[in-house]
Structure 1
Amino acid sequence: RKLDQVLNITPDDVDTLALKAGIAQAEGDLPRASALLTPLHPAADDSVALETQVYQAILERRTAPVIPRLNEILAQPDPALGYYNGELRFWLGWAQEVAGDHAAAQESWRRARSELEPFLKEQPENYGLIGDLALTNMGLGDKAAAFKLIERAMVAVPIEKDALDGPIPTEILARVAARMGEPDRAITALQKLLSIPYEGAVASNVPLTAALLRLDPMFDPLRNDPRFQKLAASPAPKE
């Protein structure tokens, strides 16, 4: 409702619309999310809206339409956006992978890693950046590097000190563990995440929900695990 109030004041606010779409995604309502996102034409610096559009395509498993837009933006990256260019290139790789172009995805992730790593020297405790690098290394199959980065992120933003952002590295852990053949670690992390309110790790920063577990291709390796099936079938937590 608060979002609706904001939209009444600024009906074209891209970030607010993207957040509404993110909530629809988290509820598993992809048609509603699509209706909110399709009219938007976010610029490169509208990171939330742009990534929410890409995530929508990933959840729908129809990423071919968003890949040219990402390529267009990344062909002339804006230095003012800092490490976000590398983050966006991670998303490009994910979109390419979902589209079945694994060679292009690997190339994007290699470039993303080389773009992100220099920023880590300047921002050693930036857990968003560390998370991007962990996911990028996951895409490249570098399990050891990915888990090492997750540990670093957990130190940078401990749950005990930050209840909202502290669980973000746990979501990264769940994603990496799911992809890298560590189902027990993934399930443990997901069980924790689905029981608490927190700021999510990707796109519009909505937390993981049972609906997103059902839709997000990053969790495909867990689909046959009865523990995962139980989590993905669970209703939304009570406020």
Structure 2
Amino acid sequence: MSELKSDPQLEIAHVLFIDIVGSSKLLTNEQSELLRGLNQIVRSTEQFRAAEAAGKLIRLPTGDGMALAFFSSPEAPVRCALEISKALQNYPKLQLRMGVHSGPVDAVVDVNDRSNIAGAGISMAQRVMDCADAGHILISKRIAEDLAQYSKWQPHLHDLGECEVKHGAKIDIVNVYTDELGNPATPDKLKQQRGKTGGVETIGSKPQRKKRIAVLPFKPLSPENRDQALELGMADALITKLSDQCGQWFFALGGHIR
């Protein structure tokens, strides 16, 4: 009788997802310069250094930014975001949007045979960030409920309600800002959604229906070389890019692209 293998251990990560606004429209050398600046700022934050020294941090590059998975406290990614926001005051060319969520993650092996993490904790943090504009620090309701247990956080938590994200899912988000840090404005995505009536966006007096385009998930030609985390990540990244640049609705369907 073959020996049963134990399931991977479920871990909860507190994820800060960071994106450089408008990076895709820049030249390659300009993108590299901004990424170097972002790396320098992030590495200089107290929360990053403390978590890294304690072995409680995993860093994931995302092309136009990064994801930081903290395995310490739900405060850590929010404090880190505020530290980054403060440092950005000296870097006016570097415009960031940030999203935070706590959720389960799994250890995976990427296409380069390196240890990595994936799961709802990462993907939901990205969804929260997708609702943000430059300067915003948005957090999920789950994180906000934890922080709201402490009086020091309560004045800085501003409920924005529901935001519709990919595939029609809705998430409750909260805006974090102080008198000097963050962005107190309502995100443009929320303003647009609240201007809709019954799935129809009204422009002036004429209702116009948005076009919808399906994005099929990627799969390799050889089944033995499958990397599910990479497949889903490529499809999600493509949907995000197309949605941001075209202003249309994109969603995933079963199938594959070759």
TM-score when normalising by structure 2: 0.28
**Structure having the larger proportion of residues in helix:** 1
**Structure having the larger proportion of residues in strand:** 2
Q: Bigger radius of gyration, 1 or 2?
A: 2
